[in-house]
Structure 1
Amino acid sequence: MIAIGLPKEVKKQEYRVALTPAGCEMISRQGQKVVVQRGAGEGSGFTDDEYVAAGAKLVDEAAEVWAEADMIVKVKEPLPEEFVYFREGQILFTYLHLAAAPELARALMDNKVTAIAYETIQAPNGSLPLLTPMSEVAGRMSVQEGAKYLEAFQGGRGVLLGGVPGVPPAEVIIIGGGIVGTNAAKMALGLGAEVVVLEKSADRMRYLDDVFQGRLRTLMSNPYNIANAVRKADLLIGAVLVPGARAPRLVTEEMVKTMKKGAVIVDVAVDQGGSIETIDRATTHEDPVYEKFGVIHYAVANMPGAVPRTSTLALTNVTIDFILQLVSKGFQATVNSNSMLALGINVYRGAITHPQVAEAVGLPYTPLESLW
């Protein structure tokens, strides 16, 4: 029997939980043990009684969960106060974003934790199945939050995204046409904004043009086009991702200085270091924005945490199959039979086993297969 641990998230204002009662029941039906910290699901609307009915064992403290579990499932990366729980051979399955957290990478290495990152599990077609649902949520929220902070009493320039008859709509500039960018475009167009997506893949631009039937404009992403687009933006959304790596800085401070007073920036890539140079720190839902050069910067690193019910359900939908494989087959057999999961392994036996992560944190890369 393998024990799965579900601790309560400790990141400030993080109300998601990594496993729903339905997911817990699926694990229990396989004859496995699930240990849940009391109150872990409350922020997402799941009660302790529901977890007990699904076969879980409840404990009071996070330390008990970590001590009893062979595999910990979480939503967000462990914070420094959780490092004391790490132990050799324990599997940690969560969003890690190690490119922006070298101290976490070292702690995982030092304690020889087997760390699997949701965000680097990759399908053969290049898609990121465990990142996709949160990217969908964050993309849609980026427009929702951007529209709010464009309001004058929030410090914005007092612009309604869709305008009204006789008044032009706002200009929404989206850098990156992946899952985040596509969902942001969907929301912005739905609100009546003028939308421009900058993307480096010509094939992706053709796809966007086809899907949105010419309702948005696409531009090749290069410094010249980015600079011109940023200058015109009422709302600028950074939607760039390189799996496992630090987000590239595509919008410079000089570009931000050219923006309209009261314009808004939302950088969805902040948990990977940010793609906009003036996003120099992550913010929280409690204090989500700051002003720089007259521009409102929204830099919340866990945007989907604001809609935890939706986010938790969407996350468990895509993680549960991987969890079930790990508990039924064991770690090595699952990795050998599942190439997607193998790409999710960031740390194993004290080594960094993902090349982009190793490069980002400045530590040596060790191929996973050399550690068997």
Structure 2
Amino acid sequence: MRFTLLHTDTETNARAGLLETDHGPVETPIFMPVGTVGSVKAVQPRELIDDVQAQIILGNTYHLYLRPGTEVLERAGGLHRFMRWPGPILTDSGGYQVFSLAARRKLSEEGVRFKSHLDGSYHTFTPESVIDIQRRIGADIMMVLDECPPGDAAYDYARTSHELTLRWAARCKQRFDETACPYGHGQALFAIVQGVVYPDLRRESARCLVEMDFPGYAIGGLSVGEPAEQMYAMVEVVCAELPAHKPRYLMGVGTPENLIENIARGVDMFDCVMPTRNGRNGMIFTTEGILNIKNRKWRTDFSPLDPGLDRYVSQTFTKAYVRHLFIAGEILGLQIASLQNLSFYLWLMREARRAIMEGRFAAWRAEVLPRIRRRL
């Protein structure tokens, strides 16, 4: 993997770059559709390429390990071949799932023992085993195992947690250096900065991980219940410590407004389930604002779903028709909403990148934010 920083905005810390992998290039800033179990829900890989114009997607180590299992993935030739996705893939190590399964897991210095949400069986993740699993999945970008504490964690717990994550990161890096991808393509390992909402812990975490010299850095443990302003403050603290020539990935964030604000603070990569999950529940993001497609006001609105977005679903289907699909419980409605939201998110990234490259990001940000955050 190689990252080239192409331009930095003069009024903000927004950056445009190029991330090159063996499965293709990624233009940053970028949003990664979430394909947790090897599938972006309700969207085919062909649609991700042709309609959404996605450049990289995300899979999850915890879920793929449990189902279909690494043996199946290895026999298939890796996740790329298994799901027929030709582009780059990033895999989360499962640290967030460890956090979300607090009642089902037990942490120790060695790793985490957890109970499967599928059948109740017990499993153990160690820093070494998650590297082995991600090698067999075949992700282009792999993540270290981390502990993701809750957003309201007390200072002492946050310190203990981030120090454990640092030790796990060192073990992950050692295992990564000792192993190779079984499918012949290159893989990169990103570290994860933790520290909850405590600036000194965030700085300490970032500085220690930078000393370990990873090819990229993620910011974890945000958007887990803390106010948006605290998230933005922590992103500013961390980005100030990270090297400019390496990519920065904010995990699990977020709304379109969150993305723009964090691009302004120096983040290059994002992922979130919001465009597909909210879309399946009737929330549709458009270039004109946010709409609840189930509302009666759209019943006889025969205008395109998103007149400002030049995509098949945006221009072909009317608001009235998509509302009808949701009210009737038709699966096509979920597919159209998911495609529209992902297309919008990727459009937003391209527009942000264009504005950065042309030296007008601050003005573009001021113009686009009120428009995309309003409720229609």
TM-score when normalising by structure 2 = 0.31
In the superposition, the TM-score normalised over structure 1's length comes to 0.31
